[in-house]
Amino acid sequence: MVVDDTPQAETLRSDTYPVGILVWRKHVDDIYGGLDHYPEAAAVRSILFACTRWLSDHASQPPDEEQRVRIESIKSELEAWLSERGEPYLG
């Protein structure tokens, strides 16, 4: 996978990744009744990648502490979801 590490791409990730992650997680709750009922491992891996990448990009100075805590919580949930199902995540 080729990752764009330009300043423009980092700014885009900084602004859009948290919104996408949080909206997706709410969607899972609203539509599926929670992560336990969500069937798509590929989508979970994609969102987990977004969480990991955003946290990595903001390791030294997160723009919003509350947002960082929420993303870390979602990341942990997704890792547990994959682990419980024996699904690999190669990050």
pLDDT of residue 64: 81
Whether the Cβ atoms of residue 45 and residue 83 lie closer than 8 Å to each other: no
pLDDT of residue 59: 80
1-45 residue pLDDT tens: 445 566 555 554 556 888 899 999 999 999 999 999 999 999 999
SS3 content of the chain, % helix, strand, coil (to 5): 75, 0, 25
Domains of the chain, residue spans: 7-84
Whether the Cβ atoms of residue 73 and residue 60 lie closer than 8 Å to each other: no
55-86 residue pLDDT tens: 988 887 767 888 889 999 999 999 999 999 99
pLDDT of residue 39: 94
Amino acid identity at 91: G
Classify the C-alpha dihedral 46-54-12-17 as positive or negative. Answer: positive
Dihedrals phi, psi of 56, to nearest 5 degrees: -65, -45
pLDDT of residue 1: 46
